[in-house]
Amino acid sequence: MEELLNPASDPIFIDQVVQAAFNTQGPQQKQAMSILAQFQELPDSWQKVPMILENSVSQNSKYIALQIMDKLITTKWKALPETQRSEFHRRLYRQNERDEAQMVKDKAFVNKMNLILVQILKQEWPHNWPGFIPEIIASSRTSLSLCENNMVILKLLSEEIFDYSAEQMTQAKTKALKNQMCNEFADVFQLCNEILEKATKPSLITATLGTLLRFLNWIPLGYIFETSLIDHLINRYLEERQYRNITLRCLAEIGCIKDAGPEYDSKFVLLLTMVMSSVNRILPPNTDLKEMWDSQPQYEQEFVMALAVFLCSFLFKNGRLLEIPQHHELLVNVHMYLVKISQVDDRELFKVCLEYWSKLVKELYDEQQSIPTDMGPLMGIGLNLVGVAVGAGSTSSHFGGGGVGSEAQGRKLLYRDVCSNLRLVFIEKMVKPEEVLVVENDEGEVVREFLKETDTIVLYKAMREVLVYLTHLDVPDTEEIMLNKLARQVDGSEWSWNNCNTLCWAIGSISGAMNEESEKRFLVTVIKDLLGLTELKRGKDNKAIVASDIMYIVGQYPRFLKAHWKFLKTVVNKLFEFMHETHEGVQDMACDTFIKIAQKCRRHFITQQPGEQEPSVDEIVRNLDKITEDLSPQQIHTFYEAVGHMIAAQPNRPVQERLIAGLMRAPNAVWDRLMQQSAASVDVLANPDNIKLLSNVLKCNVSACMSIGSFFQPQIVRIYMDMLGLYKAVSGIISETVAAEGIIATKTPKVRGLRTIKKEILKLLKYTLLPPLLEAVLGDYNRNIPAARDAEVLNVVSTIVIRLGPLLTGKVAAILELVFEPTLTMINQDFSEFPEHRVGFFKLLRAIDASCFTGQPFVILINSACSNRKRNHKLIRKFYCGLNRCTNLSTMTALLALEPSRFKLMMDSVIWAIKHITRDIADTGLAILLELFTNISTHTDPPTAAAFFQQYYLGILQDIFFVLTDTDHKSGFKGQSQVLARMWGLVESSSIAGPLFNPAEHDATMDNGRFLKEYTFNLLSTAFPHVQPLIIQQFITGCCETYSDAARFKSNLRDFLISLREYSGTSDGQHHDLFQEDKEALAAAKAQEQAAIPGMIKPSEIKDEDEEIL
């Protein structure tokens, strides 16, 4: 090891160690690997890097040297003297001066060297390496291979500055590098232009085009439109097979350039005209892309992808330029190419097109909605004028000068054929909704789907959105296309599982987009044809496909079903038929569709409809055993929940109780029989079959109770005492079994079955409360061993607390006594064990805090808990995770009345919460701090507030900086920023009356503002010694200036955290969550906008009056 660090050591020795590490085995290899690992960790190992790079003959040795160099740049670079840094980067750059054969041979090494060189440039250029651009230009003219590699370096540098800088560099640094790059770009562009004009070496041309691709989104427009660049790209390279893909990508970047003024409009149109002229020769308009796709080599497929990117990019930015009459032919040509590309069976290719189609149809829809409603009689005239104007080639305006409404109708007319073709494409390519469970697998078999494909669900939502817009734009055309496709399914000319599925998925996706009359006419035809198709087709697979499609469609149209009782009854009876169909997945879909209909149409089942002898729910309850005889237990539970939704809507209590009794008739019969047997012999629970029966009976009760709610009480009363007795008996058997066989017994089928019985009983207790509950359930929880305790107990008690609220205050001390101690011993060792108990515990604490306490009773509770469990301070910490609800003055006064040791435990709990790696717990802690600072500073007297801040302010400040700089807590950036800004504001606004420091240790001129700056500077300098003092000082100054502006404060904080990453060596992308709040705000705005569009929200996601329980 000492030999490796000797400045005079021979590089041959290093090569020998590396050779032994990579090419030997046994003890010799192990020793060599150990030496190399220790060498790389030594703080001065970087000093050997230049010698290794220049003298070593082993590529492995050089690669290790580069790894050491990489670590140096990210951790210590700024700490090196400027002369040493300068020497380093110059010696590294000279490593690229090698002949072409060596470049090819050492490609991996050269690529790594380029990456490291760019990282150095980000630190050194332009201030400490001002001649970099002239040097790289000059060296490029000395060697083609060096020129090619320099292109790679320039590309990487451009990416770092213009593409990846937002989350890796501070705003000031990014701005400086961008300005410098723009200022020196003339020479770089001249070099690129010379290469494109004169070069013949393919790899150099390709590298230059790749570099140019990264330049085009930021270089001044003059370099693009006022030079020969576009001519070179189109005339020299676009139709050359080996260059056309990368060339088309470059043209796509040009086509979507932002901030180009109207003076460039004609140049953009000319660009598109020239490109499409070449595309028409490469790929004639009559080419059937869908048919030829699979037979094409990868390079040709990549060209189609590049073409899609070009067309969508151009149309996104400049599509409006093509809407004047003289460019209509070009517009149609472009869009028809895009339609053909969209037909190709390639998901990634389709996603590229989908983004543009979504934008186009949304614009057309929004324009239609903006037409004044009183223009109806005039719109026909407007349309006629548009037709004349377009036909005559008028250039006076885009759409004949008919005003806002005329222009909107003109655009709709202009894109009419495109939209019609697009409807067909989307209908034929519709992907599977998440409600569909019966699918065709890769082997062509019809099976039940068990795993949801997230990508497919996202794609379905995007396609559904486009199809809803397209339907709004032209309902008759949408209806005609779908019905024609359906007719071809019925006559067999286009029959296939895939065709039938995609058509029905598309039909289901436009629910709500038509008016009620159109929807009625359309849906009656669809269901009639599909029911006929079910009878027509032979074979279980065919019938399963059609059945799943029918069930999906009827589940999407509750509005239609509500308005047509006979049709609703027919559909439900068909679902009952499907419940006897044993083909995989059909019964699941039938049950899922039935519960969806029951939720949306519940009142229709409890009302006696015209022509009926009784309400439909009576018939269902009476025939329940027959309907469910072929269903699995899980499916039966779903059925019980569905019927429960209907019963819950019955306003007549006696009738409701009769229906509940009828619904639970079969489960109660089994229950009574087993309870009678258990009274005669305790061996009933020794039989596994009996355990399963009890479990299923309880699950039926739970399913019905979930949907019926509090009206289920008569059934609970009927079985309650037996249920508590069963609970105690089961718990005793579990404890005895575990005591005899050890913890492993909790994993056996018998004990797991018994625990299921306990869990189902506990779920039932969520909805009702009778006096024996606390003793039976909580006492059992307290006595059991940790592995046998059920987290459901905590959920049950939380529900009880929320329901009863202040009425339960007198019982809370007993509840805490029984559950806190045993739960604490389970979860206070780490942050991961017993996750269900952990969540249930916090849920209970928040429920108690929110529902039971204000003012003094809250303090009495905490004092009691502290006195009984002083050693369990983590228990108190967790309890206060609900304190953010305590905001009134009396509560704050009561909290401050706690004795100091207990108040400190409360504060410790808040700090513990913000350090928790679970996001919701950490966010709760941050919310508490914000409320606490507000309450202390505004709701307490100045001496009390001063004492609080003097004791806790600095400690909290340290902890906030801890979580801000810890990668496990980056999701809490928003709350952390708010707390830090609030703390800074308290000091800068002089809201803290007393000193935060000890006056005896400072001079008389010290104040809180100056002390906070000095304290923060020392804190951060100590924690991050490699960060320049100026960076820290700038951050502190920024905090002082921006604490009252949340956006600016977060920006200042982001910059500082990125600076820390640059100096600490944290991996790239660490701070990608710093912009999460902005992303969430955009998503929320989009959701709100879509909620106003008919059909855009799925029926199952809309809450309507029929879902309200009377």
Residue 859 pLDDT more than 70?
A: no
- Which of 977 and 43 is assigned the larger pLDDT? 977
Residue that has been written with the tokens 């008690």 in this structure:
797
Model pLDDT, residue 1090: 64
The amino acid that residue 364 corresponds to is L
- 596 burial (CB, 10 Å; 0-12 / 13-18 / 19+) is buried
Residue 611 DSSP SS3: coil
- 999-1034 confidence digits (pLDDT tens): 888 888 899 999 999 999 999 998 888 788 888 999
Residue 402 pLDDT more than 80?
A: no
Among 477, 459, 356, CA closest to 413? 477
Model pLDDT, residue 833: 75
- 890-920 confidence digits (pLDDT tens): 445 445 555 576 577 667 767 877 887 778 7
What's the rounded mean pLDDT across residues 539-544? 87
The amino acid that residue 279 corresponds to is V
Model pLDDT, residue 667: 96
Model pLDDT, residue 1055: 87
What's the rounded mean pLDDT across residues 762-791? 72
Residue 797 DSSP SS3: helix
What's the rounded mean pLDDT across residues 140-153? 93
Residue 446 DSSP SS3: strand
Confidence band (pLDDT; 50, 70, 90) for 878? Answer: very low
Model pLDDT, residue 780: 81
Model pLDDT, residue 870: 36
- 560-606 confidence digits (pLDDT tens): 999 999 989 999 999 999 999 888 888 988 999 999 999 999 999 99
Model pLDDT, residue 97: 74
Residue 1066 pLDDT more than 90?
A: no
Token readout for 208 is 């230059």
Residue that has been written with the tokens 């529900």 in this structure:
799
Q: What percent of the chain has pLDDT over 70?
A: 81
Q: Which of 49-53, 667-671, 768-772, 976-980 has the lowest mean pLDDT?
A: 768-772
Q: What percent of the chain has pLDDT over 90?
A: 47
- 338-385 confidence digits (pLDDT tens): 999 999 999 999 999 999 999 999 999 999 888 765 554 444 433 333
Residue 1067 pLDDT more than 50?
A: no
- Which of 443 and 839 is assigned the larger pLDDT? 839
Q: Is the peptide bond before 943 cis (omega within 30 degrees of 0)?
A: no
Residue 388 pLDDT more than 80?
A: no
Quickly list H helices, 649-804. Answer: 653-663, 665-680, 688-708, 713-741, 749-765, 773, 779-783, 792-804
Count of CA atoms in the C-beta half-sphere (13 A) of 916 = 29
Are 497 and 546 spatial neighbours (Cβ–Cβ below 8 Å)? no
Residue 1056 pLDDT more than 50?
A: yes
Q: Which of 295-309, 641-655, 889-903 has the lowest mean pLDDT?
A: 889-903
Largest CA distance in the chain: 105
Residue 241 pLDDT more than 90?
A: yes
Degrees, nearest 5: CA angle 935-941-943: 115
Model pLDDT, residue 867: 41
Q: Which of 72-81, 515-524, 673-682, 883-892 has the lowest mean pLDDT?
A: 883-892
Model pLDDT, residue 906: 64
What's the rounded mean pLDDT across residues 513-519? 92
- 982-1008 confidence digits (pLDDT tens): 999 999 999 998 899 998 888 888 999
- 372 burial (CB, 10 Å; 0-12 / 13-18 / 19+) is exposed
Q: Which of 10-14, 247-251, 791-795 has the lowest mean pLDDT?
A: 10-14
Token readout for 705 is 């109770």
Mean pLDDT of the chain, nearest integer: 83
- 286 burial (CB, 10 Å; 0-12 / 13-18 / 19+) is exposed
Among 521, 507, 617, 502, CA closest to 564? 521
* Range with top average pLDDT, 126-130, 172-176, 230-234: 230-234
What's the rounded mean pLDDT across residues 770-798? 76
Three-state secondary structure string covering 548-601: HHHHHHHHHCHHHHHHCHHHHHHHHHHHHHHCCCCCCCHHHHHHHHHHHHHHHC
Confidence band (pLDDT; 50, 70, 90) for 95? Answer: confident
Model pLDDT, residue 1109: 43
With a threshold of 0.85, does the pTM exceed it? no
DSSP 192-226: HHHHHHH---HHHHHHHHHHHHHHTTTS-HHHHHS
- Which of 903 and 639 is assigned the larger pLDDT? 639
Model pLDDT, residue 383: 38
Confidence band (pLDDT; 50, 70, 90) for 392? Answer: very low
Model pLDDT, residue 444: 61
Model pLDDT, residue 1065: 41
- 950-976 confidence digits (pLDDT tens): 999 999 999 999 999 887 778 888 999
Counts of helices then strands in the chain (DSSP H, E): 57, 2
Confidence band (pLDDT; 50, 70, 90) for 764? Answer: confident
Measured distance CA(574)–CA(594) in Å, rounded: 10
Residue 105 pLDDT more than 90?
A: no
User: What domains appear along the chain, each with residue ranges and CATH number?
Assistant: 232-372+397-414 (no CATH), 419-600 (1.20.1440.250), 603-639+648-790 (no CATH)
Beta strands in 236-367 (DSSP E): none
- Which of 814 and 625 is assigned the larger pLDDT? 625
Residue 1083 pLDDT more than 80?
A: no
Model pLDDT, residue 77: 85
Token readout for 323 is 């809407």
Among 833, 834, 827, CA closest to 881? 827
What's the rounded mean pLDDT across residues 705-719? 90
Measured distance CA(637)–CA(664) in Å, rounded: 12
DSSP type of residue 607: S
What's the rounded mean pLDDT across residues 464-492? 96
Are 811 and 857 spatial neighbours (Cβ–Cβ below 8 Å)? no
DSSP 969-1034: GGGGHHHHHHHHHHHHHHHHTT---S-SS-GGGS-TT--HHHHHHHHHHHHHHHH-TTS-HHHHHH
Confidence band (pLDDT; 50, 70, 90) for 850? Answer: low
Q: Which of 408-412, 660-664, 812-816 has the lowest mean pLDDT?
A: 812-816
- 291 burial (CB, 10 Å; 0-12 / 13-18 / 19+) is exposed
Q: Which of 102-106, 194-198, 316-320, 1073-1077 has the lowest mean pLDDT?
A: 1073-1077
Model pLDDT, residue 632: 93
Model pLDDT, residue 14: 84
Measured distance CA(309)–CA(213) in Å, rounded: 13
Model pLDDT, residue 829: 64
**Residue 858: Cβ within 10 Å count:** 21
Residue 687 pLDDT more than 60?
A: yes
Model pLDDT, residue 1036: 94
